[in-house]
Structure 1
Amino acid sequence: MRTPTRRHFIALASAGAVAGCGGQGGFSVVDPDHASAGTGADVGAGVQKLLVATTRTADPAPIAYGAGRAKTLDFARLAISIPPNHAVGQIERSRGSRADPARHFALTGAETLPDLEALVTAARAASTPGQEAVVFVHGYNNGFAKAAYRHAQVAWDYELKGPQIHFSWSSAANPFEYTYDRDSVLIARDALATLLRRLLREDGVRVSLVGHSMGGLLIMETLRQIALSGDRALLDRLSATTLISPDIDMDLFRAQAHALGHLPQPFTVAIAQNDRLLRLSSGLSGGAARLGSVEDLDQLEGLGVFVVDMTGIADTGSNHFLPGTSASAIALIKGLRDADALAPQSLSVGPVSIKLGG
């Protein structure tokens, strides 16, 4: 086992600052010079709505949350405008706090919700038969606004019609605070379990769970916690679980999966063996292999995992969030989804894999 050095931390911070999981700054709002655009509809902008459950401490600004760890969940509703010239995989952010909805992502609506029941009611109202509520859990080094923008962008690019529920845990939004973020993930397990238990018990609401990077670790730890508390059967009500570039030690993932008895199906993992950030994360962990960049798929044998290997997708960045940031990857995945060629409903052996690109 290799010992992590100061160089590992500096390299991880540098990669995290430019990777898909990076992000600082708050929301941009519509500039008064463009106030006539209102929600952006007058200039052809779209609007993506998010429901929010967060463990972050509230900032003084309305509907803003920081890096602190709150003792209770907070809830909100956001509306984010998507510019008409939006490029798939990108977040067209303003450089300042004011935005032109014809060119930028912008916060066009926000309100707090009083409690979890209000969020569930809003999710039910936004859902029609056959639609899924997507619970998205962001990764390492994410500020509140950046993570919400990314969720809005992904939902928009994939044309997801069901309610979007954004679970925002207390990331420091600082690439040098990797350990703080890992500890925040562990602290957030109870809160995510509370949210999932309530949603999964709601009749008429189908729930799909998606986690990126360290958010995948939070999902697995939470599923394990729910199962060990006696509610394992509840997890089989999940419509689907997807981990994108999960920052999880391979030995830990196998232990988590075995603790669950069996993974809820379908269970998909998107990997890239050339993921720069996970390579650095591995260095910080003594060289231990990460699930999101696993090379030997036999390590997943018998776990019921459907693997989407994106190593061959051309990208000039860190390769750490290809399903969300690569236009070609998004097009390929949407095509497979629409052809019903993704994730068989049940896998008792495995892994089953598909390679995209290259």
Structure 2
Amino acid sequence: MIVPHALEIGKVRDVHIATTRAVAENGWFGRERSKQLSFTTLSVSVPPNRDPGKLQPGFNNPNPLREFTIAARNDARTEAVFIDRIQDELRKRPPNEREITLFVHGYNNSFLEGAYRMAQLYHDLDLPGVPVHYSWPSAANPLGYTYDRDSVLFSRDGLEDVLRQLHRAGSRRIILVGHSLGTMLVMETLRQIEISDPGWADNALGGVVLISPDLDVELFEMQASRIATLPEPFAIFVNARDRALALSARLNGRTERLGNLTNPEALAELPVTLVDVTAFGEGGLQHFTLGSSPLLLQILGQSAELDATFQGDRAGRTGLLPGTALTVKNATQLILSPQILLRN
């Protein structure tokens, strides 16, 4: 799977990975669970001349000209070595870019799929700072939903440990990002940290982003209410036409999940921002619109505009577009549209 000459072909993104997956017979991390964390850094070659949002993963005999490819692997023997590596990366950056983006993948993801997705988001959004990926033991099988949900609960302590160590690494801020079922892992972990260390999340994190969260709305309310002060910004990307979440809702005997919620009244008591990206969905499951829509990536890549949105007041005057923001008590809903690009 490792193609060293890919270092000379595509744009290389180093992804630092902590995982509770056990090592499989082929030497890579598989679906089985491990009680001990493992650490590695993968150099991912992003193929040249690709469209933003397009992710073609390379596995066996990958073609670096067309596929995301692993160009190098550098395992860390201990957690201390892993954190030292991240600290070195932080020191190399300007002070205003000494940030960490920690990504937690979702349901039905293999080890490499999660690493490739982290590299793609980091590349397409031109994120500052150091990309870190937390890889929990998904079965990587559409029929493995129950196994994946149990693996989420299994992996809470590991994510807490990683978050606390990253906080000690001295970054300017940490942005915690979860996708799909990985958002349950994010919320459960923040909840358990809050129980033992009230106020930690707000002090340690510079923001939380939940992408297409496969979470029961009432469960999310209970998790969030246990956290004294939610980190800000706290953004939830939703898509009313997310077919994967529609299926999950039916399987769970509900009408909707948090990720296809379009009415901010359900979260009125929480200081969160629902970012509605329904207008950008194009066929398929529409379960990762944030990372697969070139137009949406272009909008989100305008970081100054996005920062203005999140830092705006709660009266609906977010500065993004007149009439696109709705405020219900503490919650804000932003309805993004491709028309935003017409202003530029």
Structure 1 and Structure 2 fold alike (TM over 0.5): yes
Q: CA deviation at 1:155?
A: 0.8
Map of 1:79 onto structure 2? 43
Q: CA deviation at 1:40?
A: 3.3
Distance 1:214 1:165 in 2: 18
Alignment partner of 1:73: what SS?
strand
Map of 1:212 onto structure 2? 179
Structure 1 position 123 matched with structure 2 position 96: no
CA distance 1:137–1:345, change in 2 (3 Å)? farther
Letter in 1 for 2:189: T
Map of 1:98 onto structure 2? 61
Distance 1:216 1:288 in 2: 19
Distance 2:20 2:336 in 1: 35
Distance 1:316 1:204 in 2: 39
Superposed counterparts of 1:181-330, under 5 Å: 181-330=148-297
Distance 1:274 1:336 in 2: 26
Distance 2:170 2:147 in 1: 37
Q: Which of residues 21, 27, 31 in structure 2 aligns to 1:56?
A: 21
Map of 1:351 onto structure 2? 331
Alignment partner of 2:309: what SS?
coil
Distance 1:204 1:295 in 2: 34
Distance 1:204 1:263 in 2: 19
Contact preservation (8 Å) 2:198, 2:227: no
Contact preservation (8 Å) 2:175, 2:208: yes
User: Could you tell which deviates more after superposition, 268-277 or 53-62?
Assistant: 53-62
Map of 1:47 onto structure 2? 12
TM-score (norm 1): 0.85
Q: Which of residues 13, 28, 31 in structure 2 aligns to 1:67?
A: 31
**Which fold has the larger relative contact order, with Cα–Cα distance below 8 Å and residues 6 or more apart in sequence?**
1
Letter in 2 for 1:102: L
* Root-mean-square deviation over aligned CA pairs: 1.9
Q: Unaligned regions of 5+ residues in structure 1, if any?
A: 1-27
Q: CA deviation at 1:51?
A: 0.5
CA deviations 1:46-89 (Å, max 9, x no partner) are 00110010000012334x10100101110001101011112211
User: Could you tell which deviates more after superposition, 46-55 or 79-88?
Assistant: 79-88
Q: Unaligned regions of 5+ residues in structure 2, if any?
A: 316-328, 339-344
Alignment partner of 1:176: what SS?
coil
TM-score (norm 2): 0.88
Alignment partner of 1:99: what SS?
coil
Distance 1:148 1:157 in 2: 14
Contact preservation (8 Å) 1:265, 1:347: no
Map of 1:168 onto structure 2? 135
Q: CA deviation at 1:203?
A: 2.6
Distance 2:145 2:232 in 1: 31
Distance 2:187 2:169 in 1: 22
User: Could you tell which deviates more after superposition, 100-109 or 297-306?
Assistant: 100-109
Letter in 1 for 2:54: Q
Contact preservation (8 Å) 1:305, 1:347: no
Contact preservation (8 Å) 2:183, 2:215: yes
CA distance 1:288–1:192, change in 2 (3 Å)? farther
Distance 2:192 2:314 in 1: 22
Letter in 2 for 1:93: P
